Amino acid sequence: MSKRATYQRIARWYDFVDSPFERKRYKPIRPLVFEGLRGHILDAGVGTGCNIPYYPADTETVGIDLSPAMLARAARRREETCRDVELHEMNVMNLSFDDNRFDAVVSTFLFCVLEPQHQIPALKELARVCKPDGELRLLEYSYSKNPRKRFIMKLWAPWVCFAYGAAFDRNTHYYMKEAGWRETENRFLVEDIVRLIIARPAARE
């Protein structure tokens, strides 16, 4: 099943299924992802719009997603929060934006969904639309080094793959340099399983 089909299928139930993780794990760290950002912001993989309440004031934000059903949920959240955000159906590997459009690019758990062969194309496209002095901020999963936690994550992995088309071992940070990013920060925000990656576009020829 394609990623688009997966999220078309789960969109109706996504927030309900994800609610335990959202309340306990994601909600406390989402504000940190947007802290200090200004100007034009791209939210790549906006999903049902869980980031929307945390967009900084006085910014112009655009959210993209591959799934119309997920975007419909995001539109509802936009109305509920009265936030001014553009929403577009778009593939992160083929963005319709001009070069150097955004001051910052944010993506929360999108790269967990992308297959290994799609990591570099997606990161390159985000580098293209980010201004030379802009910044990329990613939230991504990693397998815990703790044997017990890692075992539990391994047990969860088939369900995560079925429900979300995602995996815990995408290791997106390994691809940053090749994709044109210079990593400036890489730290865990939730135990040793959810990491924040911050990067800037590498010097362009």
pLDDT of residue 204: 60
Mean of the pLDDT values across residues 179-186?
96
Per-residue confidence band for 62, with pLDDT thresholds at 50, 70 and 90: very high
Please name every residue paired with 135 in a beta bridge, in sequence order, or none if there are none.
104
pLDDT of residue 203: 76
Per-residue confidence band for 27, with pLDDT thresholds at 50, 70 and 90: very high
DSSP assignments along 121-156, one per residue: HHHHHHHHHEEEEEEEEEEEE---SSHHHHHHHHHH
Output the CA–CA distances (angstroms, integers) from residue 191 to 5, 178, 196, in the order listed.
Answer: 32, 28, 12
Assign 196 to helix, strand or coil. strand
Number of domains in the chain: 1
pLDDT of residue 148: 97
Strand blocks (E) in the chain: 39-44, 59-65, 85-89, 102-108, 130-141, 181-190, 194-201
pLDDT of residue 159: 93
Mean of the pLDDT values across residues 52-73?
96
**Which domain CATH number covers 43?**
3.40.50.150
pLDDT value at 133 more than 50:
yes
Q: What is the mean pLDDT of the chain?
A: 95
- pLDDT digit string, tens, across residues 148-171: 999 999 999 999 999 899 999 999
Helical (H) or strand (E) element with 72:
helix 68-81
pLDDT of residue 1: 64
pLDDT of residue 197: 98
- Range in 16-20, 49-53, 139-143, 190-194 the model is least confident about: 16-20
Q: Are strands 130-141 and 194-201 parallel, antiparallel or unpaired?
A: antiparallel
Residue 194 is part of which domain span? 3-201
Q: Are 187 and 126 in contact (CB under 8 A)?
A: no
pLDDT value at 2 more than 50:
yes
Per-residue confidence band for 205, with pLDDT thresholds at 50, 70 and 90: very low
